[in-house]
Amino acid sequence: MQNLVERLLSGDRRALARMVTLIENDSPPARRYLAELHRHAGNAHIIGVTGAPGAGKSTLATHVVRELRHRDRKVGVVAVDPTSPFSGGAILGDRIRMMELAGDPNVFIRSMASRGSLGGLSASTRDVVRAMDAAGYDPIIIETVGTGQAEVEVMRAAQTVLVVSAPGMGDEVQAIKAGILEIADIFVVSKADKPGADQTVAELAMLLSLDPNRRLHDKSKPYWRIPVLKTAAIKNQGITQLVDAVQQHREYLIESGMLASRAQRQVRSEVEALVVHAVMNALKEELPENDWQRLLEDISTRARDPYSVAGELQERIGLKKSKGQLDQSRFGPFT
């Protein structure tokens, strides 16, 4: 069989699908493949779509994809839905809204479960995007889990972030809170055919007017004025304007040099995440599940404390040099 990477690069969709599976499961060859794919990626415009559950992310994404197809783009979609904290299973339902896109060979949709990640994406979302990027999809849309106020991971994965709000979801105090509203490059007020949409637009505009940079930015440099756009996807209203704005944002990122600086910020957090992941794996190898159980019992019965246990584990996986000062009689050896 031809090398999986070559098949992917030549446009074989099954090869891409299998690659995503390998990446998602962190299987041994995935890192090697990703290292190779990294060289071929970097062309795609990566668009994040985030917002509260039910805000209309999937519907909006579907209409944006349709408009992009009218513009003859080859579009990738990664749609993340939550993993059950109890069973580890998930119901991935974003394809329901995207039904009309099925069967178009220039659209590749992949549903992913969050698998315990809390930032609105799954741990491997960025790598999956990289694989789609290398396979020639551009743009690539990342649809996050329905988010609250603090799931901002998408800003580290996407170049242009759309924050979708539906009318009637909260008052203006919600809007000046820190967090998700800060990461928007474009605000989208969805379901604009519903009552209250204009009020939501006004509240978001008020929030934006409080940004001192809006008046005081350096006029000689490119400046992105965050727009608030209304869409009514089922009536196909506002979608062309939104896609225009997304493309303008991309141009702004290039002109201002922000594309490169954002990319570097993202790469940094990516390398950090890889290191953290390696540490977690080292910990898993060092401490089998049964030993964990015993430790947890010791800590919950107050025989031991979390801090010294954490310190000792850091020594055991080589993160800290042993000081040799731990009072073994008090803490007792592990295992």
Partner 1 sequence: MPDTRPIRVLVAKPGLDGHDRGAKVIARALRDAGMEVIYTGIRQTPEMIVEAAIQEDVDAILMSILSGAHMAIFPKVMELLEQNGVDDVLVAAGGILPDEDIPAIKAMGIKGCFGPGTPTNEIIEFVRANIKPDRLTTAE
Q: Which residues bind partner 1 (CB under 8 A)?
A: 1, 4, 13-14, 17-18, 20-22, 24-29, 83-84, 86-93, 95-96, 99, 102-103, 108-111, 113, 115
* DSSP letter, residue 153: G
Instruction: Indicate the residue among 96 and 234 with the shorter CB distance to partner 1.
Output: 96
Shortest CB 173 distance to partner 1, Å: 36
Shortest CB 129 distance to partner 1, Å: 15
**CA nearest to 231, candidates 44, 62, 46:** 62
Shortest CB 9 distance to partner 1, Å: 15
Instruction: Indicate the residue among 86 and 307 with the shorter CB distance to partner 1.
Output: 86
Tokens matching residue 75: 């579009």
CB atoms within 10 A of CB 213: 10
User: Which residue is associated with the tokens 């430790």?
Assistant: 295
Cα angle 58, 182, 154; round to 5: 45
**CA nearest to 162, candidates 261, 242, 280:** 242
Shortest CB 33 distance to partner 1, Å: 9
Instruction: Indicate the residue among 18 and 316 with the shorter CB distance to partner 1.
Output: 18
Shortest CB 28 distance to partner 1, Å: 6
Label residue 290 exposed, middle or buried (CB < 10 Å: 0-12, 13-18, 19+).
Answer: exposed
**CA nearest to 128, candidates 62, 60, 93, 76:** 76
Tokens matching residue 112: 């992913």
Instruction: Indicate the residue among 91 and 260 with the shorter CB distance to partner 1.
Output: 91
Shortest CB 30 distance to partner 1, Å: 9
Shortest CB 34 distance to partner 1, Å: 14
Is the Cβ–Cβ distance between 140 and 149 less than 8 Å?
A: no
Instruction: Indicate the residue among 213 and 281 with the shorter CB distance to partner 1.
Output: 281
Instruction: Indicate the residue among 101 and 166 with the shorter CB distance to partner 1.
Output: 101
Shortest CB 25 distance to partner 1, Å: 4
**CA nearest to 269, candidates 93, 123, 66:** 123
Instruction: Indicate the residue among 40 and 95 with the shorter CB distance to partner 1.
Output: 95
Residues 6+ apart with CB under 8 A from 273: 123
> What gap in Å lies between CA 305 and CA 169, rounded to an integer?
43
Instruction: Indicate the residue among 4 and 188 with the shorter CB distance to partner 1.
Output: 4
Label residue 216 exposed, middle or buried (CB < 10 Å: 0-12, 13-18, 19+).
Answer: exposed
